[in-house]
Amino acid sequence: MSGRTDEARARIKGSITALITPFREGRVDDDAFKKIVERQIAEGTHGLVPVGTTGESPTLSHGEHMHVVELCVQVARGRVPVIAGAGSNSTAEAIQLTRHAKSAGADAALVVTPYYNKPTQEGLFRHYEAISAAVDLPVIVYNIPGRCIVDISVETMARISALPNVIGVKDATGNLARPSQQRLASGEAFVQLSGEDGTALGFNAHGGRGCISVTSNLAPRLCADFQNATLKGDYAAALAIQDRLMPLHDALFCEASPGPVKFGASLLGLCAPDTRLPLVPIAESSKDKVRAAMKKAGLI
């Protein structure tokens, strides 16, 4: 397993897109998804995450979830790493989805903290311990207290990071002290990825190696250039891109994601803006915000 985890640690960095899942007439739009993946790779995106929250995993059936992962791996063809969403608040279900990610050929699994049932720190550790023991696939922990209520402490994350195939974290805590704290607790080899576009600049300055991005669905080239600049230590160039993209980072969360980013994708002709209930079409005022931010960024 060490060779596989070492390869994943080396490859997983930069601008990694949390892919939207396009729908048409209530079904997954395979043709649109394939074009989206090809566009991402052509524009310099460093990695892909199918069926995360942005991919509407909560309202996909298991069959649809697995199909989208398989389709992403098929289209990517190894050109960039695919980190398949595989989280659940049931450890057994998370193991099942992680096993499928491996069988589909994904390079790693993104496993969110269990939501709603609010496990203790010991419960969080055992959740990832069970997944690590059950599936021989690199795992990225997804820590997002705003959606899941629970927050993995620095100490617990250090325990989790010592598990055989846990290689990193997608950190959406919004706490810019966290990557420095985690770096000291878990070591420099632990791959830290921001889960927030707006704070990715500071996150990387604290030792992060990239961002699992919503904005890169719309601006893959700019997000890739931004990450390339930070990874080279050129924070002046990165800041110039940040200033251009910050209004878009904000606008894409003016309502529950992925409503705004799907509307933006529709403006680019990538797919229909359709989401599934309980998400509804975004308000006209929100459309105005997204449209204005895309114009500011030079996307339309």
Q: Where are the domains of the chain?
A: 2-238
Catalytic residue among 34, 115, 116, 142: 142
The token pair that represents 111 in the structure block: 């496993």
| CATH of region 2-238 | 3.20.20.70
DSSP E strand stretches across 54-145: 83-85, 108-112, 139-143
Q: Give the span between the Cα atoms of 217 and 230, in whole angstroms.
A: 19
Q: What is the DSSP string of 193-247?
A: EES-GGGHHHHHHTT--EEEESGGGT-HHHHHHHHHHHHTT-HHHHHHHHHHHHH
Name the active-site residue from 170, 262, 287, 289: 170
Low-confidence residues of the chain, pLDDT below 70? 1-3
Q: What pLDDT is stored for residue 3 in this prediction?
A: 67
Q: pTM surpassing 0.85?
A: yes
3-state per-residue secondary structure call for 139-169: EEEEECHHHHCCCCCHHHHHHHHCCCCEEEE
Is 116 in the active site? no
Going by the DSSP 8-state scheme, the letter that residue 48 receives in this structure is E
**What pLDDT does residue 241 have?**
98
Q: Is 247 exposed, middle or buried (0-12, 13-18, 19+ CB in 10 A)?
A: middle
User: Any idea what the Cα angle at residue 195 is, between residues 97 and 287, rounded to 5°?
Assistant: 100
- State the pLDDT at residue 132: 97
pLDDT for position 223 = 98
pLDDT at position 5: 86
CA distance 193 to 128: 18
Residue 232 annotated as catalytic: no
